[in-house]
Amino acid sequence: MGPVGWKCAGVMLAKIGCIALALVAVSQARLNEVWTKEQTEAAGLVHKGSYVISPLPQDYIKDEDVPTNFTWGDQDGVNMLTMSRNQHIPQYCGSCWAHGSVSALGDRVKIARKGKGIDINLSVQHILNCGNVGSCHGGSVDGPYQWLHSVSQKGEGISYETSNPYMACSSESQEGFCPHADWSCKATNVARTCSTFPPSGFCGPIKQYPNVSISEYGSVEGANNMAKEIMARGPISCGIDASPILKYTGGIASMAGEQVDHVISVVGWGTEGNKEYWIVRNSWGEYWGEMGYIRVEKGNNALQLETQCAWAVPKAWTELDNQVRCFEDGTNCGSKGPSPSPSPPSPPSPSPSPSPPSPSPSKPRKHYEDPAITGSCHSGEESVTIQGLSGDFCSPSCSTSTPCPSAGKVAGQGKCILQTSGSPGPTNCAIVCDPSANQKQCPNGASCQSIQGTGICTYPAKVNATSMFFSK
C-alpha cells in the first residue's frame, strides 16, 4: 500500500536493502513507500537516472500520431500484459517500487516475444534480496532498473519468479515469518530449488538460472512523453499518490494528490465521455479496484501520476533455445555436489582397525563475534555495519521479552538499544562501551568507536555486511 517509508531523527534513510538501525529515541515520521531525491542519491543512485543508447520515442513520434485510445491489454484481440500481483501477502511489504518496475519489464519482454510462449514473470524477491535499491519499507522508482542494468553488464540478470517466488520479506522485516529466515544476497536467495523431504532432501542454489537482462533504461514524465514511450516500447512504472485511492472501487480518479508515495505500472490510456484516462495496474491484488487496475485522469497530473516514471529495454531472456537444462534437484546447476552414481559391489571388509580417539567437543559459539573470522554469526544474529562507523560485528536480535546476551569478559555491556526503523521498539543489540576508559571494553580484535557520544564495539570490516544507520 502507498503510505509506507521512514525517517530517523530528521535524517531520511536511503541506504536500504538493509536494516536501518537507530537508537530507541529516534523520532518517527509519516511512512512512505517511495524514496525522495535525497534518499535516492544517498543510496548511491541517480535520481531520475538514465542510460540511453537508442532514440527516445518522445523525440521522434509526433503528437498528432498518438491515438486517442491505446492499451497493451488489447492488441488486435491479444493481451500483451503479464500477471497482476499482490505485494501485501504472505505478509505486508512496502515493495510497490519493485512490483511496478518488474511488471512493466515483464510486459516488455512479452511484447518483444510478440506474445508467444508462456509468460515470463520476473522475481520481485530477487530485487529485495540483492538490489540494495529499496526494501519492504520503501525504495526508488527507477532504482530497480539501475541495479538490473549494472548486473546485466556483468552477463547476469533478474531471476524468474519460478526460481525465486515473492516472500514479502527484506532483511529488516519483522512481520510474519520474515525474522526467521535469511534474506541476504547469497546464491540461494537469487535462484533455488529443494530436492525432496528431509532427512535426505536439501535446498540449494540454481547457479545457471533463467533470467532477463536489459540494455538501457531511463526516466520520463509528462503525459505526451509517457504516451509515446508506452506506445512505442511498452508499459512504464510510475510514482503515484496512493492515499486518495485506498478505497477506490471504480471509475476515473481525478484527485490532484499531494505527493508520490507508491509505484504502479501504466499500460495504456483511453477516453470516457470528455475525459481521457490512464490505464494503471496496481500491485494490491485483483480484489481491489477494477480487477487490480485503476483509471486515472490523463493530462492534468492527477494523483501526481505524470511526474516520475521509468522504463527499461529488454536485452536478453531465457527461452527453450538458450536454457541451461537442470535436473529436478538442481545438482548439475550448482545446488549440491553431483548426484551419486550406483555404487559397485563392495569389496571384502578389511580387518577392523583401532578406532581413532574421539574429537574433543566443539568450542561453543560466542555472541558479538567477528564475522570475518567465524565466517558466519551465531544463530539469531547477523553481520552488520553502522553508517558513520567503520567496521562490523555480529548483532543479536532482542525485544522486550528477549534480553541481549552477555558481552562476556569485557567491561562493555550488551544492550538492546538499536531499532529497526518503523518498529515500535528496540530490535537489535550492540556492545556499548566507554571510549575514554582504560579497562578492556571490547572483545579481542574489536575497538570502541564513538558516534554522537556513544561507544560501540566493532571489528575491522572485512566481509559483506548489512548496512545499518545510527542516529541519536
> Which residues does the annotation mark as catalytic?
96, 262, 282
H or E stretch covering 294: strand 293-297
Alpha carbons 191 and 205: distance in angstroms, whole number: 6
Burial of 136 (0-12, 13-18, 19+ CB in 10 A): buried
Torsion of CA 320, 150, 11, 369, to 10 degrees: 80
Q: Which three cell numbers stand for residue 443?
A: 572483545
Closest to 157 in 3D by CA, of 83, 227, 210:
210
Please state the separation of Cα 429 from the chain's center in Å.
24
How big is the CA angle at 384 (ends 382 and 388), to the nearest 5 degrees?
165
**Beta carbons of 94 and 136 less than 8 angstroms apart:** yes
**Beta carbons of 455 and 432 less than 8 angstroms apart:** yes
Residue the block writes with cell 512490483: 99
Residue the block writes with cell 528496540: 426
Q: Which three cell numbers stand for residue 434?
A: 566507554
H or E stretch covering 101: helix 96-112
